[in-house]
């Protein structure tokens, strides 16, 4: 809860602020409550100052990316939610002289748009992200990826705003990328640079189409969902098993709780219909976890982030 006057946090900063802002429309599920305060910064400096003030005043701060991997509680969230959706934070820059070898994308830039733009410029390096919805910052934080690779495969450097408002650039050799994980500290991704190289534009476009076609053929991309709900678990022998396969073998495809359902096409996709609540989807998540535990003895961990009032970031 914000104890001091909310405006004291941002009135002198280059930001746009919304009080009691609905968050559902900002997520792929389209459900969930409201944010006490939603702020859209227009510069790194404004964002860094806001972060420092939230730390100083003990105010919870959360970062909202594309909303493709987020579930918001029906009662919403307290504190401050930051969304990097202004032109400043959606910018993408290319080195101006010589062959393009680096691309710098700010934290709010669309990974989907970047994946489409690089082939137009005859650049390769991020095709593996085709069909994976995310902001650049969100993709970096969880090392988003799929069958063909992950975003970390192309990362050169990441600039972070740390919880005290300070800024630091992490080089590639300082960052460990694992399955849906990085060792980056808590904080906000201000920008990331990616290693790219020049290639035939037609060949680049063809790879993107091929990867996207595969994803579309195996996943219900038209459903109101957040993609894969659960991480692929590590089995006793050290291998990773498909969470979707375990859900399928447990006979849970098509399972419903109210307006929330397990996809008939891919067991790891949980979707919602018009009128759904977060409570219904949470009940479905628990039912799937219990079903897989009973059938396979495996605990499924959610990949989707859950925001709840009183549980500040």
- The two beta strands, 155-161 and 167-171, are antiparallel
Residue 223: per-residue pLDDT: 57
pLDDT tens digits for 64-96?
A: 999 988 999 999 999 999 999 999 999 999 987
pTM: 0.89
Best CATH choice for the domain 220-307 from the list 3.40.50.300, 3.90.78.10, 3.40.50.10470, 3.20.20.140: 3.90.78.10
Measuring CA to CA, how many Å separate 111 from each of 27, 62, 105, 218, 247?
Answer: 16, 20, 9, 20, 29
User: Cα-flanking dihedrals φ and ψ of residue 87, to 5°?
Assistant: -55, -35
Q: Which CATH class is domain 91-216?
A: alpha beta
Choice among 112, 282, 303, 309 that is catalytic: 303
Note if 210 is an active site residue.
Answer: no
303 as an active site residue: the answer is: yes
The first and second tokens of residue 93, run together, are 């820059």
Structure tokens given for 153: 């495969």
Mean of per-residue pLDDT scores for the chain: 92
228, 280, 282, 309: the active-site residue: 228
Residue 289, helix vs strand vs coil: helix
- At residue 42, the 3 state secondary structure works out as coil
pLDDT tens readout for residues 133-170? 899 999 999 999 988 999 999 999 999 999 999 999 99
Which CATH number among 3.60.15.10, 3.30.43.10, 3.40.50.970, 1.10.3720.10 corresponds to the domain 7-87? Answer: 3.30.43.10
Strand order in the sheet with 167-171: 92-94, 102-106, 188-195, 155-161, 167-171
> Among 55, 102, 121, 180, which one carries the catalytic annotation?
180
Domains of the chain by residue range: 7-87, 91-216, 220-307
Concerning whether 180 is annotated as a catalytic residue, the answer is yes
């Amino acid at each position: 809860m914000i104890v001091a006057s909310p405006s004291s946090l941002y009135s002198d900063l280059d930001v746009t602020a919304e009080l009691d802002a609905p968050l559902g429309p900002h997520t792929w599920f389209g459900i969930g409550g409201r944010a006490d305060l939603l702020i859209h910064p227009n510069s790194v400096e404004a964002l860094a100052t806001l972060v420092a003030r939230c730390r100083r005043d003990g105010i919870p701060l959360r970062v909202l990316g594309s909303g493709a991997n987020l579930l918001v509680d029906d009662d919403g969230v307290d504190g401050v939610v930051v969304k990097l959706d202004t032109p400043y934070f959606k910018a993408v820059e290319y080195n101006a002289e010589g062959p393009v070898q680096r691309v710098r994308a700010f934290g709010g830039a669309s990974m989907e748009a970047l994946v489409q733009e690089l082939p137009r410029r005859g650049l390769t390096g991020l095709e593996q992200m085709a069909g994976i919805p995310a902001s650049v910052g969100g993709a970096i934080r969880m090392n988003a990826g799929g069958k063909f690779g992950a975003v970390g495969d192309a990362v050169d450097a990441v600039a972070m705003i740390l919880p005290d408002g300070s800024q630091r650039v992490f080089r590639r050799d300082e960052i460990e990328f694992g399955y849906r994980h990085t060792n980056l500290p808590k904080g906000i991704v201000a920008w990331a640079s990616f290693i790219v190289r020049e290639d035939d534009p037609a060949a680049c476009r063809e790879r993107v189409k091929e990867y996207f076609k595969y994803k579309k053929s195996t996943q219900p991309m038209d459903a109101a969902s957040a993609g894969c709900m659960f991480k692929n678990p590590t089995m006793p022998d050290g291998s990773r098993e498909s969470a979707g396969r375990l859900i399928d073998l447990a006979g849970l495809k098509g399972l419903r709780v109210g307006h929330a359902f397990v996809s008939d096409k891919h067991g790891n996709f949980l979707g919602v219909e018009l009128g759904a609540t977060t409570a219904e989807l949470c009940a479905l998540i628990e039912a799937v976890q219990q079903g897989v535990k009973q059938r396979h003895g495996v605990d499924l961990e959610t990949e989707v982030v859950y925001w709840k009032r009183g549980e500040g970031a």
